[in-house]
Homo-oligomer: A and B are copies of this chain.
Amino acid sequence: MIIVMEPTAKEEDIIRVVDRMESLDFKIILNRGQVMTVVAAIGDKRLMDPKALEAMEGVREVKLIQEPFKLASRESQRFDSIIELGNGVKIGGNERPVMMAGPCSVEHDLDGLLRVAHAAKAAGAKVLRGGAFKPRTSPYDFQGLEEVGLQYLAEARAQTGLLVATEVMDSQELELVAGYADIVQIGARNMQNFKLLKAAGSIDKPILLKRGPSATIKEFLLAAEHIMHAGNSNVILCERGIKGFDSYTRNTLDIAAVPVIKKYSHLPIIIDPSHGTGRRYLISPMSKASLIAGAHGLMVEVHHDPDKAYSDGAQSLTIDQFKVMMKEIDSLIDNVIMKSIEEAHA
């Protein structure tokens, strides 16, 4: 930890900081510059709140050296985490990228869901996505079918063999959702719902954790750390766009987050280009760009009749569009991505 003192700090301020840190078993090195003094405190900085130090007299700023996440960090585990999703499907590391597809919400029309599921399966997807509990900005929007939606998803799984990924919104519903889901999703707006993160740490299903719209990568990895710290290390990260200032897209898709996270963490990272852009015409180019940048998978919204979708129709592909995209993506994965992985290992 680096503690930068104010240029106006008095000698006694410096001594007080040194004493405080030594009492916490930090080893201290004083770096006295011409204008300012810098106190380097070496020790287990992860167990203390640097903000507290900033409250001390004469302290200008505290800079952390080490990343505050630990279990999620690349330093704690050099090799990539590969997570078993079920049915032999694995995600992470050098595994073939996993495609997840399905409607934003599970709707009353079970046949529509089944059509999407069969088409997704045929096109090569391994996971069916669909929301039974829906976080909605307005209380007047469709709030989801709840348990009936989960049953529909289970029916689609039974018919197709796809795995099911679906969102949980509240710790009280976790048991119910986890009873149906193969992958339990925590949405972007709940990324810092710490009770839910902790609860998710106590189950044995893989957790798909979406990045909050204003979360830094550090905050994102710390949210994963909450889950891991509570006992579940099967966390799949999902970048889905951050808050931006442009109106041509719903969010700003931060594709660079993929290689950044691969450098700082061993966890798998996928991309959701549907929420990440909010526009149908952007899904295919952003999907390919994400995979080339190293994403371990994609989560894409597909609807059998997007015009009539209860939610997010504008960012859903039709079944036919999804088929076309999957053909191109398969070719990209086969001819470029898997080949370059093989060459790296040859």
Determine the chain B residues whose CB is within 8 A of the CB of A307 once the complex forms: 20, 52, 55-57
Chain B residues with Cβ below 8 Å from A35 are: 66, 75
Give CA–CA (A55, B316) in the complex, Å.
8
Contact assessment for B259 and A281 in the assembled complex, using a CB-CB cutoff below 8 Å = yes
User: In the complex, which residue of chain B has the Cβ closest to the Cβ of A168?
Assistant: B195
Residue pair B65, A194 in contact (C-beta under 8 Å): no
Q: How far is the CA of A21 from the CA of B225 in the complex (A)?
A: 37
Name the residue on B nearest A294 (C-beta). B285
Asked whether A260 lies within 8 Å of B244 as measured between CB atoms, the reply is: no
Q: Mark A44-81, 1 if CB is under 8 A from B, else 0.
A: 00110101111111000001011011100001000000
Which one, A95-103, A115-123, A131-139, is touching chain B? A131-139
Known pairs A31-B42, A55-B314; A245 contacts B244 (CB<8 A): yes
Closest B residue to A278 by CB, please name it.
B51
Which of A141, A142, A217, A315 has the most C-beta atoms of chain B within 10 angstroms of its own C-beta? A141
How would residues 180 to 193 of chain A score, 1 for a CB under 8 Å from any chain B CB and 0 otherwise? 00000000011011
A310 B52 Cβ-Cβ under 8 A: yes
Contact code string A245-265 (vs B, CB < 8 Å = 1, else 0): 111110011111011100110
* Interchain CA distance A280-B70 in the complex, whole Å: 25
Q: Does A33 count as interface, using CB distance less than 8 angstroms? A: yes
Q: What per-residue 1/0 map shows which CB atoms of A203-235 lie under 8 Å from chain B?
A: 000000000111011110010011001100000
Residues on B with C-beta less than 8 A from A252 are: 242, 244, 252, 254, 256
How many residues does chain A have at the interface if contact means C-beta atoms less than 8 Å apart?
113
How far apart are A276's CB and chain B's nearest CB, in angstroms? 8
Min CB gap A36→B, angstroms: 6
A255 to B263, CA, bound (A): 20
Given contacts A33-B66, A65-B33, A66-B36, contact A255 B286 (CB under 8 A): yes
Which of the residues B69, B196, B213, B332 comes within 8 Å of A336, measured between beta carbons?
A: B332
**Contact (Cβ within 8 A) A38 B2:** yes
15 contacts between A and B (CB under 8 A): A49-B310, A51-B311, A51-B313, A52-B307, A55-B280, A55-B316, A140-B229, A170-B170, A213-B214, A214-B214, A214-B242, A255-B286, A256-B286, A259-B285, A289-B290
A277 contacts the other chain (Cβ, under 8 Å)? yes
Selected from B36, B40, B192, B214, the residue in CB contact (under 8 A) with A38 is B40
Are the C-beta atoms of B169 and A170 separated by less than 8 Å? no
Query: Cβ of A243 < 8 Å from any Cβ of B?
Result: yes
Q: Mark A314-346, 1 if CB is under 8 A from B, else 0.
A: 111000000000001001100110001000000
> Judging by beta carbons under 8 Å apart, are A75 and B213 in contact?
no
Are the CB atoms of A55 and B309 closer together than 8 Å? yes
Compute how far the CA of A105 lies from the CA of B220 in the bound complex, rounded to whole angstroms.
23
Q: How far is the CA of A340 from the CA of B256 in the complex (A)?
A: 25
Query: Of all chain B residues, which has the CB nearest A47?
Result: B140
Q: Tell yes or no: A172 within 8 A of B by CB.
A: yes
Is A297's beta carbon under 8 Å from chain B?
A: no
CA of A65 to CA of B40, assembled, Å: 12
**In the assembled complex, which residues on chain B have CB atoms less than 8 Å from the CB atom of A138?**
46, 68-69, 222, 225
